[in-house]
Amino acid sequence: MINKVEICGVNTAKLPVLKEAEMTKLILEMKDGNIESREKFIRGNLRLVLSVIQRFNNRGENADDLFQVGCIGLIKALDNFDLSQNVKFSTYAVPMIIGEIRRYLRDNNSIRVSRSLRDIAYRALQVRDRLLSETNEEPTVSVIAKELDLPREEVTYALDAIQDPVSLFEPIYNDGGDAIFVMDQISDNKNLDDSWLENISLKEAMKKLTDREKMILNMRFFDGRTQMEVADEIGISQAQVSRLEKTALKHMKKHI
């Protein structure tokens, strides 16, 4: 969808490309209230929006929606751009376009996050961007939390809450052969081969027991009954239950 030629009624193949000198001239004209210059500037930078939404190609989102949201980010960048900072417009605009699209994706996420958490996360991201531009170093969560005067755990939780979910079938590597997916890189501590083999061994060993031994072990270890409860139910003494239980476990150990 994102590679199609026409998006939101705009033929992307015919979009103009502005040079830096032209953009500077148009911005100065806009300062004087020239609406035509503003429209020409925006249209001349729509390719910038297209290049940004390519990054979200694998989200399954509608390209028209992403393009419109990206255009909002472009307009915000234009309204806040300062020529005196000696920064290229594209350098300034791209993060704002990306931020606008990410906000759209988060707010329309099927996993709902509370407004207060989102607010903390957005403030944290703003602080992070500011500190990054000031120091040219990625700030730690502790530094961001200190700037916000919030506990580090609260900031971490907020940032985690707004992360976009990733499909387990998302390809992360392909060397020309079979793709490697996210699920291939995730370990399962519960369903290991050893556990699977142990379960098979236990089932096979249980088959070697008498019906009474099976019943006692099932009631004791699967139903969570006490020896007294088992004794009352099957009509024998607690000592007999204990003896039968130990004998059954001893027999099972021989077969495992």
The answer to whether residue 219 sits within a structural domain is yes
Report the CATH number at residue 25. Answer: 1.20.120.1810
The answer to whether residue 119 sits within a structural domain is no
Q: Which domain holds residue 71?
A: 1-109
State how far the Cα of 235 lies from the Cα of 2, in Å rounded to an integer: 73
pTM over 0.85: no
DSSP one-letter string for 105-143: HHHT-SS---HHHHHHHHHHHHHHHHHHHHHSSPPPHHH
The answer to whether residue 201 sits within a structural domain is yes
What is the tens place of the pLDDT at every residue in 191-227?
Answer: 555 566 677 777 888 888 888 888 998 888 888 888 8
Report the CATH number at residue 241. Answer: 1.10.10.10
The answer to whether residue 237 sits within a structural domain is yes
> Final residue of a domain: which of 88, 109, 130?
109
The answer to whether residue 222 sits within a structural domain is yes
Under a CB-based contact definition with an 8 Å cutoff, are residues 100 and 76 in contact?
yes
State how far the Cα of 56 lies from the Cα of 54, in Å rounded to an integer: 5
31, amino acid identity: K
249: tokens are 């476990």
Number of domain units in the chain = 2
Taken in order 239, 241, 247, 249, is the CA torsion positive or negative?
Answer: negative
What is the tens place of the pLDDT at every residue in 141-196?
Answer: 999 999 999 998 888 888 887 776 666 666 666 555 566 666 666 655 655 555 66
